[in-house]
Amino acid sequence: MTINNYKLKKQISQKHLLSLVKYSREEIFEIIKYAAELKYLLKKGKTISPLKNKTVALIFAKSSTRTRVSFEQGVRQLGGYPMFLSSNDIQLGRGEPISDTVKTLERYNIDAIMIRTFNQSDLVELAEKGTIPIINGLTDDFHPCQALADLLTIYEHFGRLDNLKLAFFGDGNNVANSLMIAGAKAGLEVVVCTPKANAPQKEILELAKSFGNVSITDDVVEAADKANIIYTDVFLSMGQESDLKKKKSLMVYQVNSDIMEYADKNAIFMHCLPAKRGEEVTAEVIDGVQSVVFEQAENRLHAQKAVMALLMGEK
């Protein structure tokens, strides 16, 4: 089955979005197709309210522009109430068990939690100890909402998800992990181009390979050759800014006009933002005609709305 012959059902069997590991190909297609519909309705000025009278707690242990704004706007646009909670506002991480946090929030009629934090294990514990949906806004291991927005962007641009090659350049980080899993399940060929020292975690890589066509290389020409999508992310994640050795080793994988020349002539450039021009990508590329980074950023809103509507709406 491809996304082109998938029929929207407006329901999935999942209760949480911790990662995309347990999501089927059909469930990923469901989110993408529903996100496209929600985007169309918003552009036409039409509203639906599957989150009417529902409150979503937005917990941020890591700061963010796109995650906070897109989730707050998304909850509002679906008729619900967003409640922003920074790490300075709550006791999570100051000694209070995670189980106590989720059980307390449930007693205050919180209907779901979106959390952007460090440890994937924190999300797993929230899901195990609570009864409400838990949504991963980013952890050190995974960034599923970004990958879903990326698939939506690719689908809009090419009209399909199968038989396309996505080449990711840079650190084998949480974005790369989620792209490998989501891309493989959706039918893309995903190539991660990185130094061996910065390759994705072995267990995540092997898992992604079990879902579809995923490979690792340190050869930039091999990775970029005939690629339909060229993708990169910041070389140094939050908290790694002082690692100059890592930065130097990754500069070989900078996306520039030479890399784009090896790609398909109709290739697009993607970046999850924020970007550092002159490091992982040149200004010529990210500000050029092949760049779709702002469409990609907008699609975070629509993909996350679809996730929340499917997880929190009436079953």
* Residues with a known catalytic role: 116, 143, 146, 233, 272, 300
**8 A C-beta contact, residue 259 and residue 169:** yes
User: What is the spatial distance between Cα 261 and Cα 282, in angstroms, rounded to a whole number?
Assistant: 14
User: What is the spatial distance between Cα 150 and Cα 232, in angstroms, rounded to a whole number?
Assistant: 12
- In a 13 Å sphere around the CA of 161, the CA atoms on its Cβ side amount to 31
Distance of CA 30 to the CA centre of its chain: 16
User: What is the spatial distance between Cα 124 and Cα 40, in angstroms, rounded to a whole number?
Assistant: 33
Q: Which long-range contacts (CB under 8 A, 24 or more apart) does 291-295 make?
A: 292/153, 292/157, 292/268, 293/269, 295/153, 295/156, 295/157
From residue 300, give the alpha-carbon distance in Å to each of 38, 164, 221. Answer: 12, 21, 30
- Identity (one letter) of the amino acid at 160? R
| Helix intervals (H) in the chain | 25-43, 66-77, 98-107, 120-129, 144-158, 174-186, 202-211, 220-224, 244-250, 257-262, 283-286, 293-312
Closest-CA residue to 152 (of 299, 5, 266)? 299
Distance of CA 282 to the CA centre of its chain: 23
